[in-house]
Structure 1
């Protein structure tokens, strides 16, 4: 993986201006080594969705700050990240909604109970971060177009990272699948949530979030 002095995939959840009427802002980003603290929004609470082994390999630049929270999205009790037949990203994400529900709930609780601005991140800021971001955006009233556009915006932010991954890949087909970043991926996932549970808020309740926690989001 290449290193950079900037966060190439940093932005507000939902896109510019979407949260302008809200009392705080939730950001999303990738994680890169050696990024200075000045690259991050000031005073932000970090919700790091990466596994413990990922954090050990690449420590978060704000890992020593009082506002850092390690909240792995992937449930460590699960022996796999997603089912073997979940090949496409849409299928993997849908699988995560139930398989890794504990991590999703934990991450959303941190957002709900944190005062001030929040930054949600994983490694690339596309997949795990994409799930949390899409759930939040829909909860806040985003339509399909906005949710899809916010997800797909990672393609531009990860151009160099994706190129490095392709150059090092022994399985180009698998790498291409993992790098897909088009609006339909996340709109398909949100559509599944609303078919399966009725709404994003109903899914959050199924996760175990209370009405107070959902309201605090």
Structure 2
């Protein structure tokens, strides 16, 4: 989900000979980056969901059509763009909003080292403060984003279908995510 400039600056750690298939589907365009620059997190994410709907659909199709086995989705850090795609996927399989928010909040511990390094390298107090806030990965922020997403789109199935994802792909996504998983709510 990384932009090409992110890939150019920090390429993937494997090559095609490793047997790992890679699909590079940038979630955002430069136009989207410009449209979300300076917005608060919630407004930025809702704008991304609106502007990048076709890209979310491409990512969903790539996951649905992947060979059997694990699938890794990620952006540069693994928090915002990855968090939104994960929210869409979890919503698709009927995860409760509290589960979606708690899953997002787990990102804070997983990225603690990354954010510590970014904060230490921050060149201004304003950037340091923004990074400290971003590092928290607040569950309540994801709750608001998820609620707005469902209110605006009707949920992941209608959102992805409106962008051209077939019912067969949606079914494949659900099977991939739920086969072998506990289906308790």
TM-score range, shorter chain: 0.7 to 0.9
Structure 1, unpaired ranges of 5+ = 1-48
Q: 1:163 aligns with which of 116, 131, 137?
A: 116
Q: What SS does structure 2 have at the residue aligned with 1:118?
A: coil
- For structure 2, the residue ranges without an aligned partner over 5 or more in a row are 174-185
Question: Which of 64, 76, 99 in structure 2 is aligned with 1:112?
Answer: 64
Deviation at 1:81, TM superposition (A): 4.7
Kindly tell me the number of residue pairs found equivalent between the two proteins. Answer: 167
Q: Tell me which of 62, 65, 87 is aligned to 1:134.
A: 87
Instruction: Name the counterpart of 1:154.
Output: 107
SS in 1 for 2:23: strand
Residue by residue, what CA displacement relative to the aligned partner does 1:124-164 show, whole Å, maximum 9, x if unpaired? 11111111111111111211121011101010011111111
In structure 2, what is the equivalent of residue 121 of structure 1?
Answer: 74
Per the normalisation by structure 1, the TM-score is 0.70
Q: Does 1:181 align with 2:134?
A: no
Residue matched to 1:190: 146
Q: Which has a greater percent of helix?
A: 2
TM-score, L = length of structure 2: 0.82
Structure richer in strand, relative to its length: 1
Q: Distance in 2 between matches of 1:212 and 1:138?
A: 17
